[in-house]
Structure 1
Amino acid sequence: MRAFTRSGVYLAVMSALSPGVALAADETDVGTINVQGQSLGGGMMVQEESAKARSTITKEAMKKQANIAGNALDRLKYSPGLNVNSNDSSGLSGVDYTMRGMSSDQIGLSMDGIPINDSGNYAVYPNLVGDEENLQEIFITQGSSEADGPHIGSSGGNIGLVTKRPAKEFGGFVKQTLGSNNLSKTFARLETGEYNGFSNWLSYSHTEAKKWRGEGRLYSNKFEMNSLYEAENGNSSNLIVKYNRQLNSNYNSISKAQFDQGGRYSNDYPATPQYNSSGQLSRYYKLNRNPFENLTVSFSQKLQLRDNLALTLQPYYYWGNGGSFSGQSANTLGPTSDRNGQYDLSNLTSNTYYRPSWTQTWRPGITTKLKWDINEAHSLDIGYWYERARQSQTQPFIAIKGDGNPVDLWGEPGGSGQVTDANGKTVQGRNQYTVTPAQKVWLQDTWYTTSDLTLVGGLAWQHVERRGNNKGSLEAAPEKRSKTYSELLPNFSASYKLNPENQLFYNLTRNMRTPQNYVLYNVGDSFSLEPEMSWNHELGWRFQGEDMMLSATLFYLNYTHRQVSTTNADGDYEMIDAGKVQNRGLELEWSGLLPYNFNYYASYTYTDTEQKNNTSRSGIEVPTSGKQIPNAPKNLLNLSLGYDDGLFYSNITGKYVGAFYGDMTNDQKIGGRTLFDLSAGVYLPVDKKIVKSATLRVGVENLFDKEYLTSARTVVTNADEHNGLRGATPYYNVGEERTFSVSLEATF
C-alpha cells in the first residue's frame, strides 16, 4: 500500500517532469511507497502521480519475468502501449518495438540522463542499455517527450532507464544463469558500503549463447560502476560508468512466403560456404557479424544553493565503435567498381570481400537545470541542454581468409586486411562524417492551485544543426552540406484529485524529430525535409485502492512531415515527406491482490493508425492514404496471474499481439498471435550471517512453442503492384522457439 504526503506528491510530480537530469535517487522517488506483503501486480504497476500517461517497471517485476537473461528493453514486453520483440532470449541480439504505433527510432531512450538512440538515425541497440541487474526501475511516458529530455529524434514518447543506487552496507550480489541454446550469463557486483558519505558498487558480467536459428554465437562482456557522494547539506555527486564489448553473429530475416513454406528455421545464413560462378566465397554465416564496443559516462552534481533553490549539472559522454555486416552475399570489388573516380583500382582483380557498415561515435553533452520553489503554490524549472555528436560512418572492404572468416572483424580506420587502391588509399563503400550540435532551453512552471488541482505549463526551444562531410566513396563524390532546424515545443498538463483514490489528468505536448543524417547524403529532395512534428493529447483517469489499481488513458497523436526512406526512379535512396499520420486509441492497466497470496496484472492497448496522404516510390504514386502504419497492431493484450507467499513465487503470463502489415499500402498482412510465458522461483533459506538472501529462478518463454513472425524488419512501400509499380518484398524478424532458463542468485 502507498501513502502520500503533500511533499511526497510534490516530489513525484517534479520527478516525473524531469527524469532525464536528476540523480538516480531523484529518478526513483516517485512518491512515498510503503510496501507491506506482496506488491500489486507483482510490481508491474505503481501509482503514478504525473499529469500524463506514465508506467513504471519495478525491480521486483524485472526479477520475476520469464526471460531471466533479458535486457532492459525486454522487460517492457507487458507494458501498456508497447509491442517489444527480441531476436532471442540472450539479451544480446536485435530488439525492436513500437509504442502507440510509433517505431523505436521515433521514441526517445535515455539511461541516467544519457541519450541512447543513435545520433544519426535514432536506432536502438540492446548492447547500449547495460546489465539489467544494475537497474532500479524503467519508466515510460507513452506519448510525451520530456520537456528537458536530451533527445532530437523523439516525436512519440520516451523510455528512461534508472541505475540502482549503491548500498549503504558492504556486500555483494552474484547470479549465474543457464539456458537453452548454450546460454550462460555470469554476473557479479561488489558493494563497498558507505564511508564518510561515499558509497560505490562495481560489477562485471560475461554472457554467451548459441544462435537458436542458424549457426553462430553471441558474446558480451560488461563492466559497470556507480559512485555516489551525499553531503549533509543536501549536495550530492553521482558518477556512473558503463562499458560493453560484444562479438555477435547476426540473424537473417525472412519473407512471409519463406516462412509459410519452410517455417521459422528457413533462410538463415548458410552453415557451409557458398560460392559464386567465379568460385569466390559468396554467402557464409561467418561473414554476418556484429562486433561493437561502447562506453557511457554520466556525472551528476547537485548543489543545494538555498532551501528552495537547487542546481543540477550533468555532463555526460558516449563513445561507440563497431559495425555490422548483414548482407545476403559478400561484396564484389574489382577494377571497374568505382563509379565516381575516387580511386585508382588498377591494382585489383575482381574478388569478394567482407564489407561492414562501420560507425564511430563521440558524443559529449551537458544538462544544466535550476529548480526554484518560489512559494507553496509555484515551482519553476529552468534548464539548458547541449550536445555535440560526431559520427564517422565508413564501409571498408576486408579480405576473407580461406576458412571463411574475415581477416579482421573490426572495420575501424587503419584496421588490418582493408583493401587500398594503387595510391594506398583505403577503398570505402561509404565515407561520411557528420557533426550534430544540438541544444535545448526550457522553462516550466508547476502551479499547485489547490490541494487537489495542479497545473503545469512549459515551453522549450530546440535547435539542431546537421553538418555533413561526404568524403567520397565508390557510391558518391565528395560534398559538404549543412542544415539547421529550430522549433518551439510547448506543453501543458492538468491533474485533479477527485478524492484520495481517484485522479483525472489531461496532457498536451508538442514533440519534434529532427531529420536523420541520411538527408545530408541521399539524393532528390531529402535535404529540404522538415522535422517530424507531433501534437500529443492524453485524457486519463487513475484509481488507487488498498488492493487494486486501475488506469485508463485516451490518446490522440497527430504528426506531420512523417519521414520515410524510399528510392527514386533511378533506384537511389532518398528521404521523403510522407505527410500526415493520426494515431488514436485507448490504454488500460489493472493490477491488484487476490486471496491466498495471488496477484494479477492486465494491460490492454487499442491503437488505430491512419496515413493521411499517398506516397511514392521510384517516382510513382501509391495509395497509402487511409491505410494503417506498418508494424502497428491494433490490439495488444497482456494478462498475468501471480503467486508469492514469501517462500515461493510463480507467474503465468499471456500476451496477445494483433495482426499487422509489412508495407505502407497494407498489401501483406501478418496474423495475430498469442504467447504464454511461465516463471517461478524459490526463496532459499539462508543463515543471514554471510548470505542475506538467495533465490532459485526458472523461466519458460513461448510455453506452447508457437511459430510466428514478430515484426517487419524491412518495411516496403507496396508489396503488390500499384499503378504499374511492381511490389517489393517485406522481410520479417522471426519469433524464437520455446526456451528454458534457470538462475541461482545470492546477496551477501
Structure 2
Amino acid sequence: MLGAEFIQAQTPGQSINEVINQLPGVSFQNNDPFGSAGGTMTIRGFDDSRISQTFDGLPLNDTGGYSIYSNQQLDPEIIDQVNVNLGSTDVDSPTAAASGSTVNYRSITPSEDFGAKMVASVGDFSFFRLFGMVQTGNLTPWGTRAFVSASRATNNAIYGGIGEIDKQQYNAKIYQPIGSNGDFISLAGHYNENRNNFFGSVPLRVDGGRVAGSASANRFPITKDERFYETARCTIPAGVTGAVDTASSCGSDYEYRYNPSNTGNIRINSRFTLADGLILTVDPSYQYTKANGGGTSIASEGLTPASSGIAGAVGFIQGSSSSTQYYFGRDLNGDGDMRDTVRVHSPSQTQTHRYGLIASLRYDLDDNNTLRVAYSYDRGRHRQTGEAGYLQTIGFGAEPFPVNHPIKDVNGAAVEKRNRLSYAILHQVSGEYRGKFNAFTVNVGLRAPFFKRDLNNYCFTQSASGNLRCFEPGSSIEAAYAVANPTVQGPQQRIFKYDKLLPNAGFVFNANQALDIFGNYSKGLQVPGTDNLYQSFYYDPANPNANPSPETTDNFDLGIRYRTATLQAQLSGWYTIYKDRLASAYDRDLDTTIYRNLGRVDKYGIDGSITYQPMPELMFYVFGSYLKSKIKDDVELTATTQAQTSGKRESGAPIYTLGGRIQGEIEGVRLGVQAKRTGSRYVNDQNLPVFQNGAQVYGAKAPGYTLIDLDARYSLEKFGAPGVAVQLNVTNVFDKLYVGGFDGTLSNTSITFAQIGAPRTFVGSLVVSF
C-alpha cells in the first residue's frame, strides 16, 4: 500500500500506474515523464488487460479489450491511497479481465474543515500544470461536506518535434456521514479530457543503413541524441482539375496522429448498518468514454475495383496502409473531378456507456467469524466505428473526432472502416467466509461470474485476422457483395456466454507478534475481448474456431511477513498456471490487434520488500522480484510450420526488477532518492534474435535498464508561510537511453514497435494550501 505522502512526492500530475512502479512485482514503462501520454504495465508478468484496476470500487478496464489507460487516471493530489494485490483478484471484482492482479485506489474523503490547495508546476518540454481544489468543510449540522478540484496540464511531445499534449480533469465529491459508526453515503463525479499526439514509437531494430524515427523504414535510436528525431513538417498540395492526383504522404507520419479521449463517471458509495454486525454496502456507477486512436488512410473519389469482390461500389475495402481502402464515389479535394485519391484521417472510434453496481452484505457472527455475500453487475454498450475525416493542409486531422463530422459518400452515407455494436454484460454472485482461530485466520470465497457478449458486426469479415469489407447496412451494395462472395461471413449477430465457478482461499498464521506466515489460492478467468471475438466471425458459427476459449489461471502464493515498530519485511513465492493463454500484439500500420493462443503457460517467481524507519524523519526501502515463465508447447504458425516456443519465456515482461528509496526530512526539507532496475525482456516468444531477410536486426532481448529519480520539498513555514512549499522532481537523473514499452511477438521475423524511454526531466512546483 502507498499513501498520499508518497504519491504526492512524485511528479505532480503523474499517473498512479507510474507511482506503483515502486512496488515489487510491478513493471511500468511510462511514455512520457508527466503521466499524460500512456504507458505499458505488467504485474508478475500479467499485462494490463489481465489486471483489475478500480477507482473507489469503479472498474476501469476497458469493456471491450480490458486495457487500462494510464493517462486517464485520477489526479494524484486527490488519491488517498493505492493498494496492489499481487496475483489474485478480489472476490467481488466486476471485470472480465480478472485473471491476474488487482490495483485499487481510493479518492480522499472531503475534510470537515474549510480549505484550499493549489499546485503550479513548470518543467522541461514546455510542461505547465495547474491544479486547484477547494474543501467546503462541514456545510450542515449533520456533517455534510464536499470538495471540488480541477487541473490542466500541457506540454510538447517528447519526441518527434511537432506534437502536443493537453490534459484537463475535473472532480467533485459530496459526503454525508450517517450516525457515528462509520456509515455514510457519497456522490462523486469525474471528467478527464486528453488531446494528445502520438510520439516516440519506433521499430525495434538497430541494423545499419537506417536512421532513428517512427516510420517502418526507421530504427530504434542507439545514442541519446538520436532520440530527439525531427518529423518533417509538410503541406498537402491542392488538387488539379482534370489531373489524376495521387494521395499525398503528408499526415501519414506517426506523430501526426491524434489520440483524444473524453472519459467521465458518476459514482455512489454507501454503507449502512442494518443491525448489530450486519452491514450493507451499495455502490452504483455510470461511466462514459469517447476515444479514438489510429492514423490515416488513402481514399478514392472513384468506385471499388473488381478485385475487391464487387466492382463499381462505394464502401471500405481493408488492405495495407499504402493501398486505397475508402471509396466515396465523389469529389473529395474540391478540384471538380472524380479522378483522384486523397489521404484522410481514419482513426478507430469507440463510444461506451457503462452501468455498474456492486452490492455486498456482511454479517459478523461474532468477533472471530464473518460472512459476506455480494452481487456485481456490469453492462457496457460499446459502439465501434471507423469514419473518415479531412486533413488540414498541414497534415493534422481537421478535428480530433471524425465521428462528429464524417465524410459522406455519393449517397450521403458515412463510409466506415469498421461498424459494430457490442454489449458486454456481467452478472456475478460471490460469497466469502473469514474466521479467526487463535493465531490462525482463514479466508474462503467463491465467485460465480456469468458473462454475455452480444456482438453485432455490420461488415463482412474477409480474413482470420479480421480484415473487413464494409458497406452501408441494408443497401443494395451490401446484398450484391453477399451474393458475389457466398463464402465470406457477412453482417450478423453472435452471442457468446461464459461462466465458471472461481474459488479462492487464504490463510494467515501469526507465529508471534512480529511474524506472519500467509498463503493464498485463487482461480481466475479472462473472457476473450471483443477484437478477438469479432475476428472469429471469419469462421462459420459451426467451426470450433468461431468460439474462442476463455483463459483460466490457477494462482498460488506462499510467504512470510515480519513487522516491528521500525522494520517491515515481506517475502513471497508464487506460481500461476495458465490454460489457453491468449497473447496479443498491436500492428500499428494495420491498426489491428493480432491474437495468438500459447496454450498452457506456467509462471512463477518471488517478490520481496523491506522497509526500515529508525526514526520518523528517515526511511529506507528496498524491493525486488524475479519472474520465470515457461510456454509448454510449440505454437502453430501455419499448417506446416510451428514456432519453437516450448520451454521458452513469454515476451514483453522483465526477468527481474530491483529498486529502492531513501527519504529523509529535517527542518522543513524533505529529500527522496529512488531507483529501479528493470531486467531484460524477451522480444518474441521464441526467445530468438530478430531477423529480416536473413540478417539479424535486433537481439533476443531488450536490455535491462536502471532509472534514478530525485524529489525535494522545502516548506516555507519558518518564513511565515505555513502551507506553502516548493518542490523539485527530477526523473531519469542520469538520462538513461532505454527501450520503453512494447508488445512482444510470436515470430522472430516480425518487427515490433517500441516506445523510446522518457529522458531526464526537471519539474519545479509551488504548493500552496490552507
Deviation at 1:626, TM superposition (A): 1.0
C-alpha distance in structure 1 between counterparts of 2:302 and 2:545, whole Å:
31
Distance in 2 (alpha carbons) for counterparts of 1:360 and 1:269? 33
SS in 1 for 2:260: strand
Q: How does 1:426-465 map to 2 (within 5 A)?
A: 426-450=414-438, 452-465=439-452
- Going from structure 1 to structure 2, the CA distance change for 1:595 and 1:489 (only over 3 Å counts) comes to closer
**Is the 2:619–2:663 Cα contact (8 Å) retained in structure 1?**
yes
Q: 1:189, 1:545 → 2: CA distance?
A: 37
Cα 1:632–1:573 shift into 2, 3 Å: closer
The residue number in structure 2 matching 1:469 is: 456
* 2:701 maps to which of 631, 649, 669: 669
Change (3 A) 1:179 1:618: farther
Q: CA offset at residue 410 of structure 1?
A: 1.1
**Does residue 1:700 correspond to 2:730, yes or no?**
yes
Contact 1:287 1:354 in 2 (8 A): no
Q: What does 1:93-132 align with in structure 2 at a 5 Å threshold? A: 93-132=37-76
Q: Distance in 1 between matches of 2:625 and 2:236?
A: 48
With 620-629 and 518-527 compared, the bigger mean Cα shift is at 518-527
Match among 113, 116, 128 for residue 169 of structure 1: 113
Going from structure 1 to structure 2, the CA distance change for 1:269 and 1:340 (only over 3 Å counts) comes to farther
Q: Distance in 1 between matches of 2:649 and 2:190?
A: 39
Other structure's SS at 1:127 match = helix
- Does the 8 Å CA contact 1:264/1:708 hold for their aligned counterparts? no
Supply the distance in 1 between the matched residues of 2:109 and 2:369 (Cα, whole angstroms).
Answer: 30
Amino acid across the alignment from 2:581: R
Q: Is 1:716 matched up with 2:707?
A: no
Shift in CA distance, 285/615, structure 1 to aligned 2, threshold 3 Å: closer
Higher mean alpha-carbon deviation, 637-646 vs 277-286, is at 277-286
Asked if 1 retains the 8 angstrom alpha-carbon contact of 2:716 and 2:722, the reply is no
Give 1:701 deviation, angstroms.
0.8
SS at match of 2:717: coil
Kindly tell me: are residues 270 and 617 of structure 1, through their superposed partners in 2, closer, same or farther at Cα, counting changes over 3 Å? farther
1:210 equivalent among 148, 156, 167? 156
SS in 2 for 1:290: coil
Distance 1:264 1:660, change over 3 A: farther
Instruction: Give the distance between the partners of 2:469 and 2:573, measured in 1 at CA.
Output: 47
Distance in 1 of aligned mates of 2:264 and 2:229: 31
Contact 2:20 2:26 in 1 (8 A): yes
Deviation at 1:527, TM superposition (A): 3.2
For residues 239-292 of structure 1, what are the alpha-carbon distances to aligned partners after superposition, in whole Å with 9 as ceiling and x for unaligned? 121101121111141123212556574596823128799362442466311111
Q: In structure 1, the residue corresponding to 2:418 is in which secondary structure?
A: strand
Q: 1:654 aligns with which of 672, 675, 681?
A: 675
1:449-598 alignment runs, 5 A limit: 449-450=437-438, 452-472=439-459, 475=469, 477-522=490-535, 523-524=538-539, 527-565=546-584, 575-594=595-614, 597-598=617-618
Matched residue of 1:238: which SS?
Answer: strand
Question: Residue in 1 aligned with 2:130?
Answer: 186
Which AA in structure 1 matches 2:673? Answer: I
- From the superposition, tell whether residues 484 and 286 of structure 1 become closer, same or farther in structure 2 (CA, over 3 Å): same
What is the identity, as a one-letter code, of the residue corresponding to 2:191? Y
TM superposition shift of 1:332: 3.8
Per-residue displacement from partner, 1:579-611 (whole Å, max 9, x unpaired)? 011111111100112469432100010111111
Is the aligned partner of 1:391 residue 2:382? yes
Query: Runs of 5+ in structure 2 lacking a partner?
Result: 207-218, 238-244, 316-327, 332-339, 461-467, 471-489, 689-699
Contact 1:323–1:411, Cα closer than 8 Å, also in 2: no
**CA 1:621/1:303 → structure 2, altered by over 3 Å: closer, same or farther?**
same
- More divergent stretch after superposition (471-480 vs 182-191): 471-480
Residue 273 in 1 paired to residue 234 in 2? yes
Q: Distance in 1 between matches of 2:26 and 2:304?
A: 44
Contact 1:184–1:209 under 8 Å retained in 2: yes
Q: Alpha-carbon deviations, 1:447-491, whole Å to 9, x = none?
A: 1122x2111111110110111111227535422111100010101
Separation (CA, whole Å) in 2 of partners of 1:219 and 1:736:
18
1:343 to 314, 325, 342: 314
Q: Secondary structure at the match of 2:220?
A: helix
1:225, distance to aligned residue in structure 2 (A): 0.7
Contact 2:257/2:396 (CA < 8 Å) preserved in 1? no
Pairwise mapping of residues 609-648 of structure 1 onto structure 2 (< 5 A)? 609-619=629-639, 620-648=641-669
Write the distance in 1 (CA, Å) between the matches of 2:453 and 2:579: 20
Whole-Å separation in 2 of the counterparts to 1:252 and 1:675 = 18
Asked whether the equivalents of residues 252 and 269 of structure 1 are also in contact (C-alpha less than 8 Å), the reply is: no
Deviations 1:378-420 (A, max 9, x none): 10000100111110111111111223232222133xx22x222
Q: Classify 1:104/1:340 alpha carbon distance in 2 versus 1 (closer, same or farther; 3 Å).
A: farther
User: How many Å apart are 1:559 and its aligned residue?
Assistant: 1.1
Relative to structure 1, the CA distance from residue 567 to residue 162 in structure 2 (aligned partners, 3 Å threshold; closer, same or farther) is: closer
Name the CA distance, whole Å, in 2 between partners of 1:455 and 1:646.
46
Given that residues 116 and 128 in structure 1 are in contact (C-alpha distance below 8 angstroms), is that contact kept between their aligned partners in structure 2?
no
- 2:197 is aligned, of 226, 249, 252, to 249
Structure 1, gaps ≥5 residues long? 1-55, 720-726
Q: String of CA shifts for 1:472-525, please: whole Å, max 9, x gaps.
A: 275354221111000101011011111111111110011111110123310356
SS at match of 1:75: helix
Q: Check 1:478–1:163 CA distance in 2 against 1; reply closer, same or farther (3 A cut).
A: same
Look up the match of 2:215. none
Once residues 567 and 586 of structure 1 are traced to their aligned partners in structure 2, the CA distance between those partners, rounded to angstroms, is 30
Partner residue, 2:211: none
Matched-pair contact (CA < 8 Å) for 1:269–1:284: no
Establish whether residue 410 from structure 1 lines up as the match of residue 405 from structure 2. no
* Residues 740 and 263 of structure 1: CA distance in aligned 2, closer, same or farther (over 3 Å): closer
SS of 1:243's equivalent? strand
Q: Is the 8 A contact 1:286 1:405 kept in 2?
A: no
Shift of 1:116: 0.5
Give the count of matched residue pairs.
Answer: 674
TM-score (norm 1): 0.86
In structure 2, distance between residues paired with 1:264 and 1:489: 51
Cα distance 1:191–1:699, how it changes in 2: closer, same or farther (>3 A)? same
Please say if residues 400 and 407 of structure 1, whose CA atoms lie closer than 8 Å, have aligned partners that are also in contact. Answer: yes
Of the structure 1 ranges 355-364 and 334-343, higher mean CA displacement relative to structure 2 is found in 334-343
Q: Would the alpha carbon gap of residues 706 and 352 (structure 1) be closer, same or farther in structure 2, given more than 3 Å must change? A: same
Query: Structure 2: how far apart are the matches of 1:701 and 1:105?
Result: 27
Q: Determine the C-alpha separation between the residues in 2 that align with 1:738 and 1:552.
A: 33
Per the alignment, in what secondary structure is the counterpart of residue 259 of structure 1? Answer: coil
- Which one of 263, 267, 291 corresponds to residue 322 of structure 1? 291
Q: Is the 8 Å Cα contact of residues 298 and 341 (structure 2) preserved in structure 1?
A: no
Which residue number corresponds to residue 714 of structure 2?
Answer: 682
Structure 1 residue 678: Cα displacement: 1.1
- The 8 Å contact of residues 181 and 210 in structure 1, kept in 2 or not, is answered as yes
Flag the 1:580–1:267 CA change in 2: closer, same or farther, 3 A.
Answer: farther
